[in-house]
Chains A and B, each alone.
Chain A
Amino acid sequence: MDKKKKLRSKKIAGIRGWIQAAATLLTNPHIPNFFQGKIYQGKAKTVCVPGLNCYSCPAATGACPIGAFQAVVGSSKFKFSYYITGFLILLGVTLGRFICGFLCPFGWFQDLLHKIPGKKFSTARLKPLRYLKYIILAVFVILLPMFATNSIGMGDPFFCKYICPQGVLEGAIPLSIGNAAIRSALGKLFSFKFGILITVVVLSILFYRPFCKWICPLGAIYSLFNKVSFLHITIENSKCVGCNQCSRACKMDIDVCRTPNHPECIRCGACIKACPKDAIHYQFLGKTCQKKDTGDQQSEIRNH
């Protein structure tokens, strides 16, 4: 326990749960709306939040980038959503999938579900399913809303409408509880998507973050930037003894030693916590997130 405090990276990884809670609360501050069955419709809704956070969540203060992207691409006025694409590139380049691990409410939701005790299964053999999310991104988020349009060029937000379980969890369920008119409008589509949510919930208890690994188009976008993002994970080769504890600790099935910046890495820091030699840490723009007090550290290592 003491040793953790010596390293800022470990500290960050250690309080990840609290950062996730804070991020969820910050992007969903309008709690009273839950009881009134309405959504916040102020100016902040024109800005995107980094994580997968439904626009229709009563408490949400911003828009989901995936939803916004589809809405703009699918509208008859615009051909492509430059503002949202730019926003996603900016976030991708600065943080990459750190957003998945620390800021996304649906990621946190899956983390919490996975804490429910019981038998857990590895997803190492299901690696090919990872590519599914890129197909979903291309087909449901970009191509279908863009081209499956009506006579005046309007498309549906296909991902939001037919797949997204976060929309059911944050939007449909609380809104239909608080609003009688919306409750009366629920139909087959709701039942279908509620089924998806239940499936994701059950899978999240058995596997670690199945939605992030296989489905999430937002994670797919950020994953493309993981290799180049300002926020990196670095391994000090001089300290590494090749014990492979990091890879064993990794719940995203990454060989941390060889590919610390793999597209699947959500920067959760499990490897940082697991490393017996403190050889792994976060790095932002070339600066390591390590306490400068090296003397203290050395004494710590000697103590071991």
Chain B
Amino acid sequence: MKTKRTFIPVFTLSVALLLTACNGKEAADTKKTQTTQTESGTEAVTGSVAESETETAGASGTKLDDLYQQENQIFADHADVWNKVFGMMNKSTADPSGNYGDYLADTVEANKDSFSEDELNTLTDDIATIRKIEEQIAEMENGNTASEDSNAKNDSEEASPFRDFSGQDYDGNTVDESLFSKNAVTVVNFWFTGCKPCVAELSKLNELNDAIKSMGGEVVGINTETFDGNQDAIKEAAAVLESQGAKYRNLSIDSASAAGKYASDIMAFPTTILVDRNGNIVGEPMLGGIDNQENYDTLMKQIQSVIDADSAK
């Protein structure tokens, strides 16, 4: 009895500690995804160990912090005149996607008369420096989508399972990685025939395919039951696709291929990812069907940004 009585509080305590530990981990995780959104794309691909992830996340995180610190230092150095500028700012005109330096320049330009010549000179110099820092930040945040950095490119080359791609459509035509290079963005939807939420979004995916065709995008379905050219499964999948009016391409891939392994690691269906022209996965995989309008809008926004990044090159 005595052992039991001591066991209970000890157990309760350890459970409580466990739970707090979990909380800590969650907080750390959220932070990680915020700082390295682009990296998490490859993170899911390689399924790499947690330590290496946090390491890279930490490194780029401190670098970003550094850059922001430099900006703040500039503001601090000429605090008098900058405070004057900040007082004139109009929140509604702020464009979060644009360069912060441009925004500052606009504000100064609009209120030119309120500054002396000396002040204007300081401001223009500072703005030029800030613009450069902002460019560096943007590059880091955009990662493999826009970055010209050869290092980043090499990383994604290793990680992306869609670099060397091969598959067959349901009519037996072979497809390779040129599937991706033809379009600015390819929406790859992973599903299986017995998955109700997957089937529920098929018609919406077909709509999406029609909508993004003219923008340089394509929707491609990969049914995990149809791996290795399984004819029975292909027939079933084709029948389901037809019943839902889905006419976009569906592919059967090799389960042993990199893409096949990537698909086998997916645990929640439907999962939809975006692949750019070079076969790199962009952003984070989206879980859940796009028959939910919120998901559709989110996906559409991501598609748009990939297309924008592509045309910017």
Q: Footprint of B on A, CB under 8 Å?
A: 1, 35-36, 38-39, 41, 56, 71, 74-77, 112, 115-116, 150-152, 154-156, 175, 177-185
Chain A residue at minimum C-beta to C-beta distance from B243? A152
A179 to B199, CA, bound (A): 24
Whether the Cβ atoms of B40 and A150 lie closer than 8 Å is: no
Question: Which A residues are CB-close (under 8 A) to B199?
Answer: 150, 152, 154
Question: Which B residues are CB-close (under 8 A) to A156?
Answer: 196
A41 to B30, CA, bound (A): 26
The verdict on A180 contacting B265 (CB below 8 Å), with A115-B8, A152-B243, A156-B196 known, is: no
Q: Taking the nearest CB of chain B, how far is it from the CB of A183, in angstroms?
A: 8
User: Taking the complex as formed, is B93 at the interface, i.e. its CB lies under 8 A from any CB of chain A?
Assistant: no
Whether the Cβ atoms of B8 and A154 lie closer than 8 Å is: no
Q: Taking the nearest CB of chain B, how far is it from the CB of A150, in angstroms?
A: 7
User: Taking the complex as formed, is B59 at the interface, i.e. its CB lies under 8 A from any CB of chain A?
Assistant: no
The verdict on A177 contacting B44 (CB below 8 Å), with A150-B200, A154-B194 known, is: no
Q: Taking the nearest CB of chain A, how far is it from the CB of B68, in angstroms?
A: 23
Chain B residue at minimum C-beta to C-beta distance from A177? B26
The verdict on A35 contacting B50 (CB below 8 Å), with A154-B194, A180-B284 known, is: yes
Question: Which A residues are CB-close (under 8 A) to B287?
Answer: 181-182, 184-185
Chain B residue at minimum C-beta to C-beta distance from A58? B267
The verdict on A181 contacting B268 (CB below 8 Å), with A35-B50, A77-B194, A115-B8 known, is: yes
Of residues 154 through 177 on chain B, the ones whose CB sits less than 8 Å from some CB of chain A are none
Per the CB 8 Å criterion, the residue count for chain B at the interface is 31
Main secondary structure of the interface of B (DSSP, over half): helix
How does the 8 Å CB contact mask read for B9-31 relative to A, with 1 for contact and 0 for none?
A: 00110000000001001100110
User: Taking the complex as formed, is B67 at the interface, i.e. its CB lies under 8 A from any CB of chain A?
Assistant: no
* 23 residue pairs A–B, Cβ–Cβ below 8 Å: A35-B50, A36-B47, A38-B267, A41-B264, A77-B194, A112-B11, A150-B196, A150-B199, A150-B200, A151-B243, A154-B199, A156-B196, A175-B267, A177-B25, A177-B26, A180-B29, A180-B32, A180-B40, A181-B284, A182-B287, A184-B284, A185-B287, A185-B288
Chain B residue at minimum C-beta to C-beta distance from A77? B194
User: Taking the complex as formed, is B285 at the interface, i.e. its CB lies under 8 A from any CB of chain A?
Assistant: yes
4 new A-B pairs (CB below 8 Å) besides A156-B196, A180-B32?
A56-B267, A112-B11, A181-B44, A184-B287
Chain B residue at minimum C-beta to C-beta distance from A112? B11
The verdict on A152 contacting B240 (CB below 8 Å), with A38-B267, A75-B194 known, is: yes
Of residues 14 through 65 on chain B, the ones whose CB sits less than 8 Å from some CB of chain A are 22, 25-26, 29-30, 32-33, 40, 44, 47, 50
Q: Footprint of A on B, CB under 8 Å?
A: 1, 8, 11-12, 22, 25-26, 29-30, 32-33, 40, 44, 47, 50, 194, 196, 199-200, 240, 243, 264-265, 267-268, 271, 284-288
A286 to B243, CA, bound (A): 57
Q: Taking the nearest CB of chain B, how far is it from the CB of A103, in angstroms?
A: 20
Question: Which B residues are CB-close (under 8 A) to A112?
Answer: 11
Question: A74, A181, A185: which has the most chain B beta carbons within 10 Å?
Answer: A181
The verdict on A182 contacting B268 (CB below 8 Å), with A77-B194, A112-B11 known, is: yes
Question: Which B residues are CB-close (under 8 A) to A115?
Answer: 8, 12
Question: A41, A74, A185: which has the most chain B beta carbons within 10 Å?
Answer: A185
Whether the Cβ atoms of B33 and A180 lie closer than 8 Å is: yes
Q: Taking the nearest CB of chain A, how far is it from the CB of B299, in angstroms?
A: 12
Q: Taking the nearest CB of chain A, how far is it from the CB of B294, in angstroms?
A: 9
A180 to B22, CA, bound (A): 14
Question: Which B residues are CB-close (under 8 A) to A41?
Answer: 264, 267
Q: Taking the nearest CB of chain A, how far is it from the CB of B258, in angstroms?
A: 18
The one of A77, A154, A177 in contact with B196, judged by C-beta atoms closer than 8 angstroms, is: A154
Question: Which B residues are CB-close (under 8 A) to A184?
Answer: 284, 287
Question: Which B residues are CB-close (under 8 A) to A179?
Answer: 267
The verdict on A177 contacting B288 (CB below 8 Å), with A155-B196, A182-B268 known, is: no
Q: Taking the nearest CB of chain A, how far is it from the CB of B56, in angstroms?
A: 15
A249 to B20, CA, bound (A): 36
The verdict on A177 contacting B22 (CB below 8 Å), with A39-B267, A150-B196, A154-B196 known, is: yes
A36 to B44, CA, bound (A): 10
Top 6 A-B pairs, shortest CB-CB distance: A185-B287, A154-B196, A180-B33, A185-B288, A177-B26, A75-B194
Chain A residue at minimum C-beta to C-beta distance from B236? A77
Question: A39, A56, A154, A179: which has the most chain B beta carbons within 10 Å?
Answer: A154
Chain B residue at minimum C-beta to C-beta distance from A1? B1
A275 to B152, CA, bound (A): 73
Q: Taking the nearest CB of chain A, how far is it from the CB of B31, in angstroms?
A: 11
A124 to B194, CA, bound (A): 44
A14 to B1, CA, bound (A): 11
Q: Taking the nearest CB of chain B, how far is it from the CB of A107, in angstroms?
A: 16
A23 to B139, CA, bound (A): 52
A36 to B194, CA, bound (A): 26
